[in-house]
Structure 1
């Protein structure tokens, strides 16, 4: 009986160690691939050829990178500042209302399969988060860093949660098709992608209700933290004067 060769698994250790040390993910994965290739006795040129072949086969996965320079240029020329100033001019706009509206639109669009309609790099960072911050600043004045971080985190969460629960309704979504194939491979018949999509609707509605409730409480939380921040500043100032 041949002995089990565990040396090729060294690539997993490289990935775990690299991520634990917070190195660049692309660098960590590349090094892990090189180490794994060395462990299975691939010569250098074959290894490079394999890297190139896999990249070409999955090059469409990196197509989203094309939008990053556009977003960077837009931010450099004041996109975030424009979003903040525009929201500040709307007196009825609040952080919770902006995020709630985005959540509803994002979940509904994900249910229709329009996953690329918005997202973290192209919408949340340059538009949604600055708009939410602008609405809060319009009501409470200058925001401290911890309040800004909290609002930005809620903006990012809106996109993640809405997409996560909305995309399962779309019957052509990869995860739905994967579940359908898994059920059929294990002899479970009579379940079609349409059934999976329909059963995802109650979960999506529940996620919508829960998250809108959380966003409704966000306004009160912002007010509490701003009041505590103001009290702390006043106390510190009185101590310095005394």
Structure 2
């Protein structure tokens, strides 16, 4: 009878314990990898080769680290304030319209594989959220923190949802290729990445319609929150 070997899973409790004890994340992941390699009887040379191969395959992740100081420098010199001032000059701009426009652009660009065109660090925090806040401030005056947090949360959600449903249309996206490989490994033939991408289009359209409907109600929600805040201040 086939007997399961759970030793290769030893890296999981190592990671959980290391993070729970707030050890250095890099050290925790390294130790977890070494423990897993030991559990599957990898020699030290093969283990080092595996570490190097995985690092090289994921080296593009390091580009995200380079973005942070650039964004911090731009914010230091007033990027958010300039975004607010610029959007305040457009009288017809509202928070909902700005977020809806970004949602459409973000989902369409993700469908074309332009995943790095937006993002939380490089677009939402320094540009999108300040623009949405600037439009609301221009219309209702100075906003209390709970309303600002609500608008910022909607800005973050717009980016996440648009990218999540848009990227599945791009046939070279990792998840699409993973599904294609999984189907072929299990003997399900006749399904290509193009088919998966085409079937993702109805879901993306549904997500677009649903979220645009949610955003259409955002302005009324902001107005009610502002009115409630002013009424509370009057009391």
TM-score, with structure 2 as normaliser: 0.86
Render the CA deviation track for 1:84-134: whole Å, top value 9, x for unaligned: 011111110000000000000000111111111111111111000000000
> 2:195 matched to which residue of 1?
195
Gaps of 5+ in 2: none
> 1:184 matched to which residue of 2?
184
Matches within 5 A, 1:74-153: 74-153=74-153
**How has the CA–CA distance of structure 1 residues 101 and 228 changed in structure 2, closer, same or farther, with 3 Å as cutoff?**
same
> 1:239 matched to which residue of 2?
none
Contact 2:11–2:35 (8 Å) recurs in 1: no
Gaps of 5+ in 1: 236-242
RMSD of aligned C-alpha atoms? 2.7
Render the CA deviation track for 1:66-89: whole Å, top value 9, x for unaligned: 111111100000000000011111
Contact 1:84–1:135 (8 Å) recurs in 2: yes
Contact 2:168–2:176 (8 Å) recurs in 1: yes
> 1:228 matched to which residue of 2?
228
> 1:28 matched to which residue of 2?
25
- Displacement of 1:33 in angstroms is 3.0
- Displacement of 1:218 in angstroms is 0.7
Work out the CA distance in 2 between the residues paired with 1:57 and 1:110: 22
Contact 1:12–1:32 (8 Å) recurs in 2: no
Work out the CA distance in 1 between the residues paired with 2:6 and 2:108: 47
> 2:213 matched to which residue of 1?
213
Work out the CA distance in 2 between the residues paired with 1:63 and 1:52: 19
Contact 1:14–1:28 (8 Å) recurs in 2: no
> 2:63 matched to which residue of 1?
63
- Displacement of 1:13 in angstroms is 3.0
Work out the CA distance in 1 between the residues paired with 2:149 and 2:78: 20
Work out the CA distance in 1 between the residues paired with 2:6 and 2:215: 49
Render the CA deviation track for 1:188-231: whole Å, top value 9, x for unaligned: 11111111111111100000000000001111111111111111
**How has the CA–CA distance of structure 1 residues 192 and 50 changed in structure 2, closer, same or farther, with 3 Å as cutoff?**
closer
The yes-or-no answer on 1:172 pairing with 2:172 is yes
TM-score, with structure 1 as normaliser: 0.84
Work out the CA distance in 2 between the residues paired with 1:67 and 1:202: 34
Work out the CA distance in 1 between the residues paired with 2:181 and 2:51: 30
Instruction: Name the stretch that deviates more: 29-38 or 68-77.
Output: 29-38
Contact 2:96–2:219 (8 Å) recurs in 1: yes
Render the CA deviation track for 1:171-202: whole Å, top value 9, x for unaligned: 11111111111111111111111111111111
Choose which of 34, 44, 56 in structure 2 pairs with 1:37. Answer: 34
Give the number of aligned pairs.
229
